[in-house]
A and B are shown apart, each in its own frame.
Chain A
């Protein structure tokens, strides 16, 4: 198991290098002149040429990429073209906001999704099941930005109960967290239901009932642990992508998270900032995936025995 974890961590290196190469290439080949961005459009031609020379922008692509990589390995990812601050400082300063929103959204999703999914599965075809499946369908189909706008319209504009944006305390987090949580809750509900439905038809559930185990325990102990693997997969994927910044939601609610930082950087062609945020997102995503894979081993002894 430890060997497996170590191998997975080492695998992060080629993944990260690959990500940087692709993003660097895209940023390099799209139009836009970093020197002009830094100095402004009306800067004299002489200064532009001078700055391009200083930044090494006249070197061939591969040399520039190599230089970036060399600096990056030493921990220097460069400075933002627009704010002139070290890029990773900026990313890290934005991360807590994203993390907060992600955890809140996911918590809402889990608290709703898993119990509703379990009840739907154990009472298949009941009214409760039909209602929750229709709601889940709506939840999956509603675009985040639309739901966000509607919530703002209702709770901020009409009722004036909650702030419409910014990161200012608990009340400001409610609407974006609900916006994020709704879609994820719908996905988790559906996944829990289908996974539970499959498990409760298994022979070992009948064995548990034949032992005289209480129905509640049959579901919560015997069935749920078996049903959790696909649920954990979905939760992990959602967690990973939310951590990378829920771009649309963060923009709708002007939430100062990583997702918004990245979108702003792309608009400004702020290459170091884009690279830093993409690297950050991809590493976070990979780590979450690794944690999910490790969790599998704790949930299912059959998987654990494969690793050792």
Chain B
């Protein structure tokens, strides 16, 4: 009984355990639902899965199913970020446990009942429970924003190397708070519109409306909602990675105000899509520039730190170019997390900007279905990049060391980037090849993308299996992590997570 209780405590109360459960659930959902599309359809796998699980896939309900699937996965991703935030930021122990418990109940309920409603017949009790789960997520967001309130005296900082006001208010904490508040408002932006479902608001996928010259306010609100939520997930992750690498110094002092102002401007810009659509994009671009500059500063800081500490380890005072590169890539986890932010510019931001500039001249000459492929590829890649950054950070948090750390890190980076590059080439293939001659390019890009993604999934599966087997050991790593977070003896003991977490990631604190 104690063994079960300890394991339950670990999986549902510790930061690592909670994140592990959420990642595992996402992996299971992705593994099953991934078999319903793409090459799995071509190979007949979808038909087998549908029959075996008793799914009901009415053609007219595809849009609604996809919306619920996206929400189910997104809620789990948001929960993981919340665990990381409550684990990283100073707050009361009861706040951490209440927020974690609420967000956990929220994402599990919305995921389970959302998917049950969407794919296994329409029991409207399940739909109600799905909405209840989403409501719990929202409530946990309110609790998180309250816990992050940066103007409390006890959260003032006295270390000058971090961005702060004259009164000692941490601007990083302000950035976290603004992100949380903006997420709440943006969730409402979609929820209020969604609540009109059945009263005139009809299900649609945003990518199907791209070329409609006249969109109604509810449609604009939903399009804004999905864009801002993904943006804020990315902002939150950038801030989390900043905490991981102990972002500080002059770059931190510049980056945090940029992040705060940028987040506010982007959010207001997206909300302005409904009343002021013609100028909303300009506002969003302005905010995006500020946020991306802040992220760039994080990357510069991290890479500089990795080089410095790598060289110090080798006893080199000033390295040449190749020594610097070797030191930079020595540890693939922190390097990979920031490299993916850079890589995003090639496969997401760069393509997006090119598309915006050449929209009427090139992309709107193509059929809408081609533009739709570019758009869906664009945000699938962005979501994929976010997922890889989370995984790289989590692998460090979970204590992956030695050769396994190197293999896992590089597998995720190299194979995911190959897959994202291949998908990008597939999406913009019309720039290089006509429809009558595209066969070879389609075959190759799809084959490379599928193979590379499969290899990423193998790496993730091996990593998760390692943690699963560990749970069967009485003195496994999980036990030490439980101890480190003070949950084994005193479950409600306040946690000062920065100390607790640094214990399981000595490599980074030591400078890799």
Partners in one complex: no
Binding site for A on B (CB under 8 A): none
Binding site for B on A (CB under 8 A): none
